[in-house]
Amino acid sequence: MQPIRQILEEAPDAIPVPEEFRHRRIELIIWPLGDRPKETKATPNFKIAQVERIDIPPREERNARR
């Protein structure tokens, strides 16, 4: 039997128990997730290079013994 984990966006007044869990010993955890953080685009902590093309040598050239 697999446990069920659900995130409810809006909690109802009553939570139904699935048939296979009824009349059994179970653990029910209700954990408030808090408000959703506002999605903002944060600037990265690293510099981004503006280049036209990235030149990557072939594998044989990268792994060649010198």
- The whole model's pTM is what? 0.41
CA distance 19 to 26: 12
For range 3-31, the mean pLDDT: 88
State the pLDDT confidence band at 8, using cuts at 50, 70 and 90: confident
Res. 39: pLDDT tops 80:
no
The neighbour count for residue 17, using CB atoms within 10 Å, is 13
pLDDT tens, position by position, 14-24: 988 889 889 99
